[in-house]
Copies of this chain bind each other. A is one copy, B any other.
Amino acid sequence: MARPSHVRDAVREALTDSSRHDWAIDDVLRELRARGVPADFSSVFRALAYWEREGLVARVELGDGKARFEAVHGHHEHVRCESCGAVAAVPGCPVETARSQVERATGFAITGHRLLFSGLCGDCREAGA
């Protein structure tokens, strides 16, 4: 059986308690420390890899060269603000319907996709960024 694992547990809780979609490893580390759970970067890294394997955490590609994670909640895409970097979820999936068309056009058997919108969030638009 698994032994008590405060780092793993705290990592999962941190991600699950929040609706953030762009947890970088550093962010998780800082959050743990804020919660009074001292941990090492590599332990957080391994915990995230662990939960990803377990299917409770998903890797999010933001194209900024950093590994980013979120708690798994169901399929959704992301929007990222070009100005402040805020990330939000896009409910539903505009791509599902395109699948068979893509398969016909390319000859690939499609098994998944990753879609990231970019734009300006409400705040940044008001700020005239």
Contacts and interface: CB of A to CB of B under 8 A. Distances in A.
Contacts of A110: 79, 117-119
Interface stretch (A4-12, A27-35, A46-54, A88-96): A88-96
A109 interface: yes
Nearest to A102: B90
Main secondary structure of the interface of A (DSSP, over half): mixed
Instruction: Give the size range of A's interface with the partner.
Output: 35 or more
Interface string A45-70: 00000000000000001010100000
Nearest to A64: B61
Given A63-B61, A82-B111, A111-B82, A105 B91 contact: yes
A42 interface: no
Contacts of A94: 94-95, 97-98, 101-102
Of A65, A88, A109, A116, most B-chain CB atoms within 10 Å: A109
21 contacts: A61-B63, A79-B102, A79-B106, A82-B111, A88-B106, A89-B106, A91-B105, A92-B105, A94-B97, A94-B101, A94-B102, A95-B115, A102-B117, A107-B121, A108-B119, A108-B121, A108-B122, A109-B120, A110-B119, A114-B114, A114-B115
